[in-house]
Amino acid sequence: MSIELANYPQPGAWDELLDANLRPRPAARLLLEYLDRLGCAELQARRASVDAAIMAMGITFTVYSDAGNIDRAWPFDIVPRTMSSKEWARIDAGLKQRLTALNLFIDDLYNAQKIVRDGVFPLEVLAGSKNFREQCRHMTPRFGVWAHVCGTDLVRDRDGTVYVLEDNLRVPSGVSYMLENRQLMKRLFPELFKASDILPVDDYPTRLFETLAALSPRDGERPVVAVLTPGIYNSAYFEHSYLAQKMGADLVEGSDLVVREDDCVYMKTISGPRRVDVIYRRIDDDFLDPEAFRPDSALGVPGLMRAWRAGKVGIANAPGAGVADDKVVYTFVPQIIRYYLDQDAILPNVPSFMCMVDAQREHVLAKLDELVVKPANESGGYGMLIGPRASREERARFADLIRANPRNYMAQPTLSISTAPTLVGDKLAPRHLDLRPFVLQSDKLHATTGGLTRVALRAGSLIVNSSQGGGSKDTWIVNAEEGNA
């Protein structure tokens, strides 16, 4: 290539665009040929134009720090990640299978708890769940669906196997950046989009609205949908306002809503109260309703749980869905799929160790220098130990934490997660990445074609979260004919 490759090949890592001989993989052939024709100077000029567009469009995320909340421009790499539609078809089926089973699991836990009685899921794990909500017992939302929006994190290991790293079922974020990444790339490389058969993601806001509208308690008319945000200081506020605008929904804070004596939810407007049918909430359970959860919450809506239980409003994701968003529960998902669907999991879990099991805990403690240890309910890459990169003191501290609360920890081997060429200065260098597709479920089931590719912009880093120095790429699912050429 005319553009220099730096630090290739990477020993022991699968690259998404280049094979072991640094030849383009079939789904990346047209892309890499095109980038090669452009040359380094033109690529750098286009990157500068994209950075300027991101600033002008106000595409930001918020980093929380001791010094205050800092808004930063969205870090974006202009070299996309590619995958063939043939490979994606299997991933798509696996994502849908997984969410279907997880929703059956959540509904069972809040009702009959058959999976516990049958000995497939331990009562001890359920009893130790921070996200099981007694306020949701004996409730079945419409269609039996609790998690209507799921962001499933996928990684690829050195042998090419795609694993599920975790399921985000509470308030998954990032889809707005997936959509904006695609729009930026269309502006950046319009001629390449004309020459390639890249499957679209632009229909997501329509699909999301349809998913939410199906939850309306009032049939036969266009429902009033509101996006409930904690407010402008939330790290994902850009996404909340973006999705509300794209769906034609109302963006509201808790103080904009009121539950009346008829158990219906109303939005305060200048022309009087307007009934709300469906709430797409971007607030954690604890803050959702001060009558049912934390009484000191100023973010939620008093009486909202009462309205939901009375069937007067739909809420997505439903309160209590986070019971399955637990890294210890994650280890049971293959058994959950087998129990409810009588199928083997299409997408495998990363091999995992549960610290609450004596023998597995002793193995983890003996191998802390080789493993990644994760707390059950943290997100964003926080609270975890990457053993091979941790100091002796850090590993000793984690050993104490595990012994004190084994239910709260699980461990996995350190995967050599895949890389992709990323523009670093005037060279293409490998950077580790993951992928977060989004799956929607109400009366229908839909998965995005691709998702948000998050990339660790620091050399050698495995942390892809934007709050910790990560960025993102557009994800191209290339139609089968090209992908298998």
Question: Quick one: pLDDT at residue 65?
Answer: 47
329-366 burial: b if 16+ Cβ within 10 Å, else e: bbbbbbebbebbeeeebbbebbebbbbbeeebbeebbe
Q: Which residues of the chain have pLDDT under 70?
A: 1-2, 60-73, 379-381, 466-469, 480-485
Side-chain half-sphere CA neighbours of 67 within 13 A: 4
What are the domain boundaries of the chain?
Answer: 218-312, 353-413
Q: What would you measure as the largest C-alpha separation in the chain, in angstroms?
A: 70
Euclidean distance between CA atoms 247 and 268, whole angstroms:
20
pLDDT single digits (tens) 51-75: 888 877 777 655 544 445 555 667 8
Question: Quick one: pLDDT at residue 72?
Answer: 64
- How far from 327 is each of 32, 412, 475, CA to CA, in Å? 37, 11, 26
Give me the CATH topology for the region 353-413.
Dna Ligase; domain 1 (3.30.1490)
> Token pair of 319, please?
């309160």
Q: Which of 197, 27, 25, 162 is nearest to 90 (CA)?
A: 162
Q: Is the dihedral of CA 368, 435, 288, 116 positive or negative?
A: negative
Q: Has domain 218-312 been given CATH number 3.40.50.11290? A: yes
> Token pair of 162, please?
């795609």
62-97 burial: b if 16+ Cβ within 10 Å, else e: bbeeeeeeeeeebbbbbbbbbbbbbbbeebbebbbb
Backbone angles phi, psi at 73, to 5 degrees: -65, 145
Question: Quick one: pLDDT at residue 66?
Answer: 44
